Amino acid sequence: MIRVGIIGATGYAGGELVRILTGHKDAEIIWYGSRSYVDQKYADVYRNMFQIVDAACMDDNMEELASRVDVIFTATPQGLCASLVNEEILSKTKIIDLSADFRLKDVHVYEEWYKIEHKAPQYIDEAVYGLCEVNREDVKKARLVANPGCYTTCSILTAYPLAKEGLIDMGTLIIDAKSGTSGAGRGAKLPNLFCEVNENIKAYGVATHRHTPEIEEQLGYAAGEKVVLNFTPHLVPMNRGILATEYAKLTKDVSWEEVKAVYDKYYADEKFVRVLDRDVCPETKWVEGSNYVDIGFKIDPRTGRIVMMGAIDNLVKGAAGQAVQNMNLMFGLEESEGLELVPMFP
């Protein structure tokens, strides 16, 4: 039984880790870390867990935690994991960091986009970017996994095969993404109040959102060239789900079948990536509560562009589900253990 500690267990991503791990037959949560709710019963914070989780919340003492668990999930704000991690901790336990601290390989890019100093740059190289479908083998050997961002997971996987195979002109790539509100976290902030979000849609962080360099870096690896793109997130009045609509010029004349074959080359054996049938557009509702990424695409012969669309549940494949998928890989378990979550509709 893998002993699990969670730091940040009372955020939405932390709560989703608890939901998923509760159904994982080889893992047991023994530390529900939450600085804000120390000593309060976890089930008093998330009442869905009443009579399911009996534990109280603990502080975020990573040193102590390291000696008690096999893996630590940090579902915390940027900077926290980097400020706590050290060699002793990493010698005792594995870390899966759901924050952005170890996602970007260039510390300057991190500091520029996140406006904070990186406190543990010495681990950036070692950290494995935990996009399982792309870095599976590296994840298996990792001590420290940087779990990808929600927008990032969706945006990258939707375009990855085409970028990898040179089918799209990376200089023309535009990603227009739409997210449910749980992506904004559980902080009590005015813009996230029901009345502000409901019956409303808006773009935000235009040309400045922090997931941009992460997408650029990873798609750059795939394409084998530096990628600079436009990424625009939008806030949608729903709890869960991200839809990424991506536009790029095709580098050659291809049919639907040819593009499908490229997707299949990379994803045919991927349990959690579903490339949809012709003319089917992904909907976030079809993946809700599950670890799936649904991908569809349409070639527009009029403009020579392809429109790629990807949908995920931001809290599952975009956060907690992928983190558990990484854990499974790191511990040699069946990759889908605990993740056989059937999407819930409606």
CB-wise, 81 or 308, nearer to a copy of itself?
308
Token pair of 242 as six digits: 């991200």
- The only residue of 39, 137, 141, 195 in contact with a copy of itself, by rule CB under 8 A: 195
| 15, 131, 213 from 153: Cα distances, Å | 19, 7, 13
CB-wise, 93 or 328, nearer to a copy of itself?
328
Token pair of 294 as six digits: 């649904």
Token pair of 68 as six digits: 């008690």
Binding to a copy of itself (CB under 8 A) within 259-288 occurs at: 274, 276, 280-288
φ and ψ at residue 175, rounded to 5 degrees? -120, 115
- The only residue of 60, 214, 294, 335 in contact with a copy of itself, by rule CB under 8 A: 294
Distance (Å, whole) CA 9 – CA 33: 5
CA atoms within 13 A on the CB side of 73: 41
Distance (Å, whole) CA 298 – CA 283: 15
Task: Give the interface size with a copy of itself as a residue count (CB under 8 A).
Answer: 81
Distance (Å, whole) CA 293 – CA 169: 23
Distance (Å, whole) CA 291 – CA 19: 13
CB-wise, 138 or 337, nearer to a copy of itself?
337
Examine the residue annotation and report whether 195 is marked as an active-site residue of this protein. Answer: no
CB-wise, 145 or 320, nearer to a copy of itself?
320
CB-wise, 21 or 144, nearer to a copy of itself?
21
Distance (Å, whole) CA 150 – CA 135: 17
CB atoms within 10 A of CB 93: 19
| 78, 131, 234, 251, 294 from 334: Cα distances, Å | 30, 16, 35, 38, 21
Q: Is 115 a binder of a copy of itself (CB under 8 A)? A: no
Binding to a copy of itself (CB under 8 A) within 2-41 occurs at: 12, 15, 19, 22-23
Binding to a copy of itself (CB under 8 A) within 308-327 occurs at: 309, 311
Distance (Å, whole) CA 102 – CA 59: 22
**Residue of 57, 150, 154, 195 marked catalytic:** 150
In the complex, least distance from residue 239 CB atom to a copy of itself, rounded to whole angstroms: 5
In the complex, least distance from residue 93 CB atom to a copy of itself, rounded to whole angstroms: 25
Q: Is 73 a binder of a copy of itself (CB under 8 A)? A: no
Start-end of H helices in 69-128: 80-84, 87-92, 107-114
- The only residue of 39, 141, 332, 346 in contact with a copy of itself, by rule CB under 8 A: 346
Binding to a copy of itself (CB under 8 A) within 198-217 occurs at: 198-204, 206-207
Q: Is 232 a binder of a copy of itself (CB under 8 A)? A: yes
Token pair of 288 as six digits: 């809700």
Stretch near a copy of itself under the rule CB under 8 A, chosen from 58-66, 85-93, 292-300, 329-337: 292-300
CB-wise, 138 or 169, nearer to a copy of itself?
169
Q: Is 253 a binder of a copy of itself (CB under 8 A)? A: no
Stretch near a copy of itself under the rule CB under 8 A, chosen from 86-94, 134-142, 162-170, 173-181: 173-181
CB-wise, 100 or 293, nearer to a copy of itself?
293
Token pair of 211 as six digits: 């997931």
77 burial level (CB within 10 Å; 0-12, 13-18, 19+): middle
Token pair of 90 as six digits: 């990493």
Q: Where are the beta strands (DSSP E) in 12-93?
A: 27-33, 71-74
Q: Is 247 a binder of a copy of itself (CB under 8 A)? A: yes
In the complex, least distance from residue 117 CB atom to a copy of itself, rounded to whole angstroms: 23
- The only residue of 107, 109, 116, 238 in contact with a copy of itself, by rule CB under 8 A: 238
Stretch near a copy of itself under the rule CB under 8 A, chosen from 76-84, 104-112, 307-315, 320-328: 307-315
Q: Which residues are catalytic?
A: 150
